[in-house]
Structures are given as C-alpha cells and as structure tokens.
Amino acid sequence: METRIAELRYKEVINVETGSRYGYVEDVQFDTDSGRVSALIIPGRLRLFGLLGRREDVVIPWQAVRRLGEDLILVEQCELRRLP
C-alpha cells in the first residue's frame, strides 16, 4: 500500500494493545539526515471545550507504528513524548 504524507492527516491513531484512541495525525517529524519519517505528531486534546487551551501534543515514534490502514494507523504501546 502506498500513501502520501498529506493523507496521514486523515488517519486516526489507535493503540493495538489497549484500544486507546490517540487522535488524528496533525504533523510528521522527519530525520533530515536519512530523509525518513521519525515520528507522528498528534495535537493535544482540548481542555474545557478549548476555553483553557489544549494539552501538549503527543509524539509517537515511527518504530511504534505497526500497520497503516486506509482509515487508521495501529501503534503498539510505547513511551509517548509530549511537546510543550
């Protein structure tokens, strides 16, 4: 299956082991030396309907990605980093 980076924005990220939904991909992090994707960035959830801003963005390392489907991305449990 081939996919474009622009199409990743419409895919939901779900944890394979727990079934947790992380949200939709907002951005992708690249390693400029190798030219490969190094992480998926998911925006933080809104706090109090957005009146109090949002939580930190979640960064999922590319090594945690197990499957890319038509509508979703399956990831395994990993250490999630937060972006301020």
What is the separation of C-alpha 5 from the centre of its chain, rounded to a whole number of angstroms?
A: 12
DSSP β-ladder status, 65-68 and 21-24? unpaired
Going by pLDDT thresholds of 50, 70 and 90, the confidence category of residue 83 is low
Domains and CATH numbers, the chain: 5-83 (2.30.30.240)
52-65: per-residue pLDDT in tens? 766 788 899 999 99
Quote the pLDDT of residue 58. Answer: 86
Helices (H), the chain: 5-8
Burial state string for 58-84 with b = 16 or more CB within 10 A and e = fewer than 16: bbbbeebbeeeeeeebbbeeeeeeeee
- pTM for this model (two decimals): 0.77
28-51: per-residue pLDDT in tens? 988 899 888 889 998 877 667 656
Quote the pLDDT of residue 13. Answer: 93
